[in-house]
Amino acid sequence: MTSLIFNSVVRALQPLLLFFSVFLLLSGHHAPGGGFTGGMVAASAFVLYGMATDTAAARRALRVPLPVLMGVGLLLALASGLVSVVSGEPFLTSVWLKFGAGVLGEVELGTPLLFDLGVYLVVMGVTLTFVASLAEE
């Protein structure tokens, strides 16, 4: 598509969509959202960019090959389950670590966030692979 207005809007909207996708990823444990919805919003940002430019430009903007993105996501999701097995709990049991962060207070990081990050990357990779294969036909 060669519309100047569409290109300008997409270039302004892409960082906002990516920021919103990270917000959805991080708010998934306390509100609606999580890895799936965040991954879909991130994928839509790159789909829009691909519509404004072309598929090759969208792949270059992503900077990571899609099979690598999906593979890393699967490994993160698997690792989140194996952390609990190593600690003597059943597979995919939540394990939380608490850190004292000074001014920020106490911060909790857990395996559910790691699992959601894996889902985020897999959903983003699968969606972009599907859309790119349709666009390149």
| Per-residue pLDDT in tens (0 to 9) along the chain, 137 residues | 578 999 999 999 999 999 999 999 988 866 667 899 999 999 999 999 999 988 889 999 999 999 999 999 999 999 999 999 998 999 988 888 887 766 767 777 888 889 999 999 999 999 999 999 998 87
CA distances to 30, 35, 110 from 84, rounded to whole Å, are 21, 20, 10
pLDDT at position 15? 95
Structural domain harbouring 131: 4-135
pLDDT at position 92? 86
pLDDT at position 1? 56
DSSP state letter for 103: G
pLDDT at position 101? 67
pLDDT at position 21? 95
Residue type, 60: R
With H, G, I as helix, E, B as strand and everything else as coil, classify residue 119. helix
The domain tally of the chain equals 1
Number of H helices, E strands in the chain: 5, 2
Whether pTM exceeds 0.85: yes
Tokens of 10: 């997409």
Gap between the Cα atoms of 31 and 57, Å rounded = 34
Tokens of 85: 């097995």
Residue 136 makes CB contacts below 8 A (sequence gap 6+) with 55
110: Cα separation from own chain's centroid: 17
pLDDT at position 82? 93
